[in-house]
Amino acid sequence: MIRFRFAPMIRKYNKPYLLVRPGTGGSHDTDGVWTPAQPTRIQYKGHIQPIDTKLTQAEGGKYTENDRTLYTTNKHAAGDLIEYGGVQYTAHPPEDRDYCDVNKYILKKVVARDSV
């Protein structure tokens, strides 16, 4: 199978973004007050852009104008928390792209009052 090499082409558009991993553990301070663990922030580079209007309409309103698309050579798991421009997003499962060296993820904006 032919693998297309798009990574060099998008490299000039890459911007830094953060992968936020929840902290593990926590500790008690000298007064016995529980202090939760701080999340770990790992910096990666990728190209983040708004979602295509056709995709927003085709999926029946599943995506909004606040959602984004991430193109990167890094691998992320479904549900990873991505922070870009002070806004947090949840990564959805990647599309199957065996023919390409760039991964595409749909990022849904995290809303504090979103229903479960």
C-alpha span between 108 and 79 (Å, rounded): 10
Say what the pTM is. Answer: 0.77
Q: Which residues of 51-79 are buried (b: 16+ CB within 10 A; e: fewer)?
A: beeeebeeeeeebeeebbbbbbeeebeee
**The pLDDT value given to residue 114:** 56
Write down the H helix ranges in the chain: 7-10, 53-58
CA distances 36 to 22, 40, 72, Å, are: 10, 12, 31
Residue 79 covered by a domain: yes
The pLDDT > 90 percentage for the chain reads 23
Q: Strand 40-50 vs strand 87-91: parallel, antiparallel, or unpaired? A: unpaired
Residue 29 covered by a domain: no
> What is the span of the domain harbouring residue 90?
7-21+37-109
CATH number at residue 95: 2.40.10.270
Give the total number of structural domains in the chain: 1
Question: pLDDT per residue over 62-81, tens digit each?
Answer: 777 888 999 888 889 989 99
Residue 2 covered by a domain: no
Residue 31 covered by a domain: no
Question: pLDDT per residue over 68-114, tens digit each?
Answer: 999 888 889 989 999 999 999 999 876 666 777 888 888 998 887 65
